[in-house]
Amino acid sequence: MATKKLVVLGSVNADHILQVESFPRPGETVSGHGYRVVPGGKGANQAVAAGRLGADVSLIACVGDDDFGKRMINAFVKDGVQTGAVTTIPNTPTGIAIIYVDANGENSIGISAEANAHLLPELVEPHLSLLNSAHTLLMQLETPLITVEIMAKAAHLANKVVILNPAPARPLPDSLLANVTIITPNETETEILTGITVKTEEDAHKAANVFHAKGVDKVVITLGAGGAFVSDESGTRIITGFTVSPTDTTAAGDVFNGALATALLENKTMNDAVLFAHAAAAISVTRLGAQPSIPTRKEVEDFFVKE
């Protein structure tokens, strides 16, 4: 199990999920079923994935002073996530995501930042000391970009590993990418950040070279069912994933990132770390919901035995 420390900076959301046969078109009302509210948010999902998989992980985040925010903090503790840097914002709801899941397991999501919008530099500053004892910082883009930039710079200056999952997709300044050690975009995010549409392995190679030119050491482009394209000091390769029947893909990317960070903290090779992340993500897509779908360490190890 990991002994090196992981710090995750990111979002916490209440995910309102409705299963539908197909997504509603403009002006259309569709009947759904299975409505529920479950814990989500990219930062929280990635921290919980790391916690359940055995990482020593702290989360820097904001929740609202609503019932959901209180429940989230308690849930984090049960999942092994340290919550000393999770701030409760008064008179503010916890972040919200409205999620439709169709019959194929695909999702359509709308989010509102709410408490996540308060994760600003002045609020994070008292927790910068967490980086001192950390090995790796993992971040996404559901919180203010200025904070992501400041944290990346601080971690980079302290010679920490900075993993950026650039989701949701948006353009990013080169000054941020210069402080990133490992970037983990999907095809859409890759296109927005590099201008290259990834249809082939050659496209992925070109896109990775754009990231490398901006200062990123290692590139892991997730390709859904196609596995992941990796470009690092060992060269380039595609690491294939596992074939499962998806029920809900909502948190697959987050589980992949939390698992990847955990495996790398355990000194696994990049190839083995990506394979471990593929396995964790494969298990998650066979289950409904974000955090309810995240597997434990034993479940991932059992999955490998079956494979």
Annotated binding site for substrate, which residues? Answer: 13-15, 41-45, 142, 254
CA 294 vs CA 36, 73, 250, 288: distances in Å: 17, 17, 11, 10
Alpha-carbon distance of 119 to 101, in angstroms, equals 29
Can 254 be counted among the known catalytic residues?
A: yes
Count of other CB atoms within 10 angstroms of residue 215: 15
- Report angle CA 235, 239, 241 to the nearest 5 degrees: 170
User: Which residues are part of a known binding site?
Assistant: 13-15, 41-45, 142, 186, 222-227, 248, 250, 253-254, 278, 284, 287, 289, 293
User: Which residues are part of a known binding site for K(+)?
Assistant: 248, 250, 284, 287, 289, 293
Q: Is 138 helix (H, G, I), strand (E, B) or coil?
A: strand
Of 67, 232, 254, 302, the active-site residue reads 254
Alpha-carbon distance of 3 to 55, in angstroms, equals 7
Nearest residue to 257 via CA among 170, 190, 186, 208: 186
Pair 234, 208: CB distance under 8 Å: no
Residues noted as catalytic: 254
